[in-house]
């Protein structure tokens, strides 16, 4: 089966072609530079870019896969959650494509797709669902932070999530306080590399709580007050690196500690992680060290699949269609607030 998938929930326009679980092509047009000027995603600009880019991105994906539109057997798109008008662009285009060609269409939950993205690996990338193991999965992005118990393939239960800011948001907002460009996560990652993570002691909210929830706004506030009282620290590059390393260490410490604790409590043997913040090298390193210590297998989404992309949407859609899930939802509506349960 040849499947065409779309993703347009936030500021990436993406199309991918999947054949029986294998990613033949995945093209992503990122709008990060466009929104950087405003310090965050501007929905109206995002929508305009999606409309402009969807067709060229789709043509590029089909060309890279070496297939024509007429050969597509099924279509999928992100149905939610996300920015309403942004979701609308990809979903309605996908439904129209499927309807016009009388092909099955399936709407996909964006976080459901992140959840299974760590199982996509290799070159060319393909879904290794044959290797699936029950796991605890950490989804960390600019908009979401959650822990999920994936009991069996396509069956999961959310354990907890952030009660305020997401982890990526914490990277971006504390970065902004330090005068870094948006999105600050990758910049902090880079600066922290040469920094001393023990130089400044920032709070690790909820780290000792037995629940699976997260909270990052207190950490952001603590950084704000600290910088208000020590503004000169930002003028020294070496101190900046230490600040970045210390803030990053607080975020990573909370994420890793709570993920490992949940995995131990639930008795799984596998931990997975996905979403934009999973690009963070210290998070990847710390998760690996702690998983090795406790004998857990670790599956991290490939960095190319951590940030938003249609390949993960297509792989999940392909899997669900292979399991004979009903699909011809040509007029299903966007679900901007669709919660993963
Ligand atoms: O998954 P994603 O593309 O978008 C959302 O769905 O939100 O994630 C973007 C987020 C941003 O907050 C960005 O700062 C963060 O992921 N991010 C990182 C790194 N790369 C991206 N955070 C820390 N370290 C990184 N290397
Ligand atoms: Zn995402």
268 lines ligand 1 (CB under 6 A): no
CA distance 109 to 98: 18
> What does pTM read for this prediction?
0.95
314 lines ligand 1 (CB under 6 A): no
CB-CB contact of 313 with 115 (8 Å): no
Would you give per-residue pLDDT tens digits along the chain (341 residues)?
999 999 999 989 999 999 999 999 999 999 988 898 888 889 999 999 999 999 999 999 999 999 999 999 999 999 999 999 999 999 999 999 999 999 999 999 999 999 999 999 999 999 998 999 999 999 999 999 999 999 999 899 999 999 999 999 999 999 999 999 999 999 999 999 999 999 999 999 999 999 999 999 999 999 999 999 999 999 999 999 999 999 999 999 999 999 999 999 999 999 999 999 999 999 999 999 999 999 999 999 999 999 999 999 999 999 999 887 767 889 899 999 999 99
**Can you say how many angstroms the Cα of residue 70 is from the centroid of all Cα atoms in its chain?**
31
Tokens 């699936």, residue?
Answer: 132
171 lines ligand 1 (CB under 6 A): yes
What is the CB neighbour count within 10 angstroms for residue 199? 14
**CA dist 13 to 54, 164, 267, Å?**
6, 27, 38
Residue with the smallest CA separation from ligand 1 atom 3 is 307
Angle at 102 between CA 116 and CA 47, to 5 degrees: 60
CA pseudo-torsion sign 196, 199, 200, 203: positive
Token pair of 117 as six digits? 């993205």
Separation of CA 322 and ligand 2 centre (Å): 24
In ligand 1, the atom with minimum distance to the C-alpha of 12 is: 3
């Amino acid at each position: 089966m040849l499947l065409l998938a779309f993703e347009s929930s936030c500021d990436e326009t993406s199309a991918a072609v999947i054949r029986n679980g294998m990613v033949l092509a995945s093209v992503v047009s990122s709008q990060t530079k466009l929104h950087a000027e405003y310090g965050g995603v501007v929905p109206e600009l995002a929508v305009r870019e999606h409309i402009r880019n969807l067709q060229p991105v789709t043509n590029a994906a089909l060309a890279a896969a070496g297939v024509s539109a007429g050969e597509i057997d099924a279509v999928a798109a992100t149905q939610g959650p996300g920015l309403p008008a942004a979701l609308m662009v990809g979903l309605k285009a996908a439904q129209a494509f499927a309807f016009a060609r009388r092909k099955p269409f399936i709407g996909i939950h964006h976080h459901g797709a992140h959840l299974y993205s760590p199982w996509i690996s290799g070159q060319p990338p393909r879904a290794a669902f044959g290797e699936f193991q029950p796991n605890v999965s950490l989804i960390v992005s600019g908009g979401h932070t959650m822990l999920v118990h994936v009991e069996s393939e396509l069956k999961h239960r959310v354990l907890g999530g952030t009660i305020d800011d997401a982890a990526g948001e914490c990277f971006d907002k504390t970065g902004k306080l330090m005068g870094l460009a948006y999105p600050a996560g990758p910049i902090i990652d880079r600066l922290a590399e040469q920094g001393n993570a023990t130089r400044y002691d920032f709070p690790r909210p909820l780290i000792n709580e037995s629940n699976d929830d997260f909270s990052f706004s207190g950490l952001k506030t603590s950084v704000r007050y600290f910088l208000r009282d020590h503004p000169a620290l930002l003028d020294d590059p070496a101190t900046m690196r230490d600040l970045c390393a210390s803030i990053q260490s607080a975020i990573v410490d909370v994420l890793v500690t709570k993920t490992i604790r949940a995995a131990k409590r639930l008795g799984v043997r596998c931990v997975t992680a996905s979403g934009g913040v999973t690009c963070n090298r210290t998070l990847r390193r710390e998760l690996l060290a702690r998983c090795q210590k406790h004998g857990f297998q670790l599956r991290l989404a490939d960095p190319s699949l951590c940030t938003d992309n249609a390949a993960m949407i297509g792989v999940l859609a392909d899997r669900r269609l292979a399991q004979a899930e009903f699909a011809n939802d040509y007029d299903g509506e966007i679900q901007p607030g669709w919660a993963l349960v």
